[in-house]
Amino acid sequence: MKKFVLFVVSVLLVSLCLGCGSTKKEAAPAKKELIVGTEPAFAPFEFQKAGSSEFTGFDIELIQAMAKKMGYEKCTIRNMGFDALIPALEAKNIDVAIAGMTITEDRKKKVNFSKPYYKSGLSIVVDKNNTTIKDVKDLVGKKIAVQIGTTGAIEAAKIKDAVITSFNTNNEACLELKNKAVDAVIGDKPVEEYFLQQSGKNVYAKIVGKTLTSEDYGIATAKKNAALAKELDKALEALQKDGTYDTLYKKWFGTTAK
């Protein structure tokens, strides 16, 4: 009889515990840190603040706002070369890469991209006194500076007999033009426009010809991390709806997104 009573009591206790477990939902663990890779020499998208070790720019403020919207407590920005971003994603050293990265078919084979967040194109920059280069057809056989790993480098390689010199940053490519070591620079239009705007009265260059391409920038994640890419899309859409995206766009480009 005692054994039967003990058995009944045990069953009741187990049932009670199970019942408690089923009515109380466990809180989802907080997202701690989103690790972001960028190449901070691409103003106004990402660059280092004057007199500071911190980074700023349209891309930086956008990904920080997206991380917050996604529930992350911290958004850590890591500085690396542009051509090191995709390998860093593949090695899981970073979670996302945002660096004015054009969505291309070749890159899509290696990474996932968010929906486009900026429409860009390529421009030709020459010395302000140059009157012979007016369009891409005038670059045949010329010396051209580009940033390594960019679509500017890809387009320059298509120009017949052009002598291409690659640099780690767009700033270095423009410095080569300033030193008159090359005839032109091919780079992303908004970056070149910002560069000329910031140069003010000391400007030594100008943009010539039509925009060479129409390109979409995207935020990259590792190929195996499709779920994070979808989260980025939701966050971007939310920021576009609540006006945050437009506020950042106007802050950095002086106009609203088209």
Instruction: Output helix, strand, coil percentages for the chain, rounded to the nearest 5.
Output: 40, 25, 35
Q: Are residues 222 and 115 in the same domain?
A: yes
Instruction: Please report the pLDDT score of residue 221 as a whole number.
Output: 97
Q: Are residues 183 and 204 in the same domain?
A: yes
Q: Kindly state whether residue 157 falls inside one of the protein's structural domains.
A: yes
The answer to whether 75 and 67 are in contact (CB under 8 A) is: yes
Question: Which structural domain range is residue 86 located in?
Answer: 32-119+217-253
Q: Kindly state whether residue 54 falls inside one of the protein's structural domains.
A: yes
Is pLDDT of 76 > 60?
yes
Q: How distant, in Å, are the alpha carbons of 112, 174, 212, 216, 217 from that of 116? A: 12, 27, 19, 6, 5
Q: Are residues 110 and 54 in the same domain?
A: yes
Q: Are residues 142 and 197 in the same domain?
A: yes
CATH number of the domain encompassing residue 140: 3.40.190.10
Q: Kindly state whether residue 9 falls inside one of the protein's structural domains.
A: no
- pLDDT band at 20; cut points 50, 70, 90: very low
Number of domains in the chain: 2
Helices 226-242, 58-69: axis angle to 10 degrees equals 100
The answer to whether 256 and 250 are in contact (CB under 8 A) is: yes
The H or E element containing residue 164 is strand 163-167
- The pLDDT tens digits for 161-197 are 999 999 988 889 988 999 999 999 999 888 888 888 7
The answer to whether 213 and 158 are in contact (CB under 8 A) is: no
Question: pTM surpassing 0.85?
Answer: no
- The pLDDT tens digits for 100-117 are 999 999 999 999 999 999
Q: Are residues 97 and 224 in the same domain?
A: yes
Q: Kindly state whether residue 23 falls inside one of the protein's structural domains.
A: no
Q: Kindly state whether residue 249 falls inside one of the protein's structural domains.
A: yes
Q: Kindly state whether residue 146 falls inside one of the protein's structural domains.
A: yes
- The pLDDT tens digits for 105-162 are 999 999 999 999 999 889 999 999 999 999 999 999 999 999 988 889 999 999 999 9
